[in-house]
Amino acid sequence: MTRPPHKGPRNDRRLPPREAPPAEPFRRPSADVVVLYGAHAVREALRARRRKLLTLYATEGAAERIAPLAAEAGLTPQIVDPRALTSRLGDESVHQGLLLEARPLPAAEIADIETKSGVVLVLDQVTDPHNVGAILRTAAAFAVDALVMTDRNSPELTGVLAKAASGALEHVLIVSVVNLARALQELSQSGRLVVGLDSEAPAPLEETRLQNPIALVLGAEGKGLRRLTRERCDVLARLDMPGPIKSLNVSNACAVALTTLRLKGIASSE
């Protein structure tokens, strides 16, 4: 005997259709528009006003918190859904409800560097944006005169780097150069002692004879300083670590080196 078809309520396990993410209102990425996100990066860009500010996007809560500072900078936050920010920046971004579109920082040259603290940092093809961002944060904390880096084999001054710099990108003069060896020569001719950090150097930094003003050169992790870069340095020095791990992340090495210079009286307290 054939059973009649069951006409009771069906156990329909189909999920409801996913709601489409909101449309993104942002500009298309281009060479003349940079993206800054996160509370510190956006706040310091609004506060410093070293660059032309275009559009500020914010969630409702973030817009309320940043409204006074945005008004001082002449911007009105455009309210967006947080999912739009995540879609634009990626799932791993910690945007804190803020995204700012702006023009790149004004270009600078070696001749534009003013001697204040007496210390210039030079990066020899350090490519990781997190490391460069952390170095910028340390540079701002120590009030260095400038950060010199190459046009190529360096990260873009936006996005992840700006977030890692935690606002320091707006406060440190950045000089991009085509030829690093030539830039080191210019720094030396301007009266700065060019010191390269090298693990094979003959003496530790704290025992090396130094003078102000100074240009401290840091190499990429793993590779270190390139041969031509080492040849353009006036002196090489190393960082000796007392613990079982002898090497440091380049951003940590930067902080240790700047602390050493300050303790030696090389970096000005201004």
Amino acid at 204: P
| Residue 186 CA to its chain's centroid (Å) | 25
pLDDT of 186 higher than 60: yes
Query: What does the alpha-carbon distance between residue 256 and residue 250 come to, in Å, rounded to a whole number?
Result: 10
Whole-number pLDDT of residue 158: 92
Whole-number pLDDT of residue 41: 96
**CB burial of residue 62 (10 Å; 0-12, 13-18, 19+):** buried
DSSP, residue by residue, 43-77: HHHHHH--S-EEEEEE-HHHHHHHHHHHHHTT--P
pLDDT of 95 higher than 60: yes
Q: What pTM was computed for the model?
A: 0.86
Q: How far is CA 167 from CA 141, 146, 249, in A?
A: 11, 15, 21
Average confidence (pLDDT) over 51-73: 96
Q: Which domains are assigned to the chain?
A: 34-102 (3.30.1330.30), 110-263 (3.40.1280.10)
191: left (phi over 0), alpha (psi -120 to 50) or beta: left
Task: Count CA within 13 A, CB hemisphere, residue 84.
Answer: 16
pLDDT of 100 higher than 70: yes
Average pLDDT score over the chain: 90
The bridge status of strand 53-58 relative to strand 98-102 is antiparallel
Query: What does the alpha-carbon distance between residue 116 and residue 190 come to, in Å, rounded to a whole number?
Result: 14
Average confidence (pLDDT) over 172-187: 97
